[in-house]
Structure 1
Amino acid sequence: MDPLERLLPSGRKPGRLPILTRRQLIDGIRWRTRTRTPWRDVPQRYGPRARVYDLFRRGSETAPGDGSSPNYRPKPTRRT
């Protein structure tokens, strides 16, 4: 083994490991949308409701042209 190899990082990223996967948060959004319940009723297995809602809000702000964006304005139609 090279003496410098011991000093190099082992390839793992530094920092805290993610506790919840993005998939769990998305499942929480889907559950809430399907059941039409308030955000406070999202089960804990999907993660903290604040994180689930934050992911939902950030996704809806950047959605392209489907009307879910707060800045969305439909194009006027021409009458012939």
Structure 2
Amino acid sequence: MAYGRSKSAMVLLAAGIAERWAPDGVTADALVPGWIRARSRRHPGLETSRAVGAADEAGNRVEQPFYKSAG
């Protein structure tokens, strides 16, 4: 559980940094060793899903070729 949380934290930190300092031309990226859609993480919330690129602005799920499935 902690591993997944730390990966999510890295992605959200990078998204927050990028948003906060975008007016200054600062960008941020997070590199994580792969996404895992586990049953415990299937519904992280719309805002989080949008932040990590898993949902579009309308809230539709965006499938990525790098997602792995745990089930």
TM-score w.r.t. structure 1 length? 0.30
Structure scoring higher RCO (CA < 8 A, sep ≥ 6) equals 2
Query: Which one has the bigger strand percentage?
Result: 2
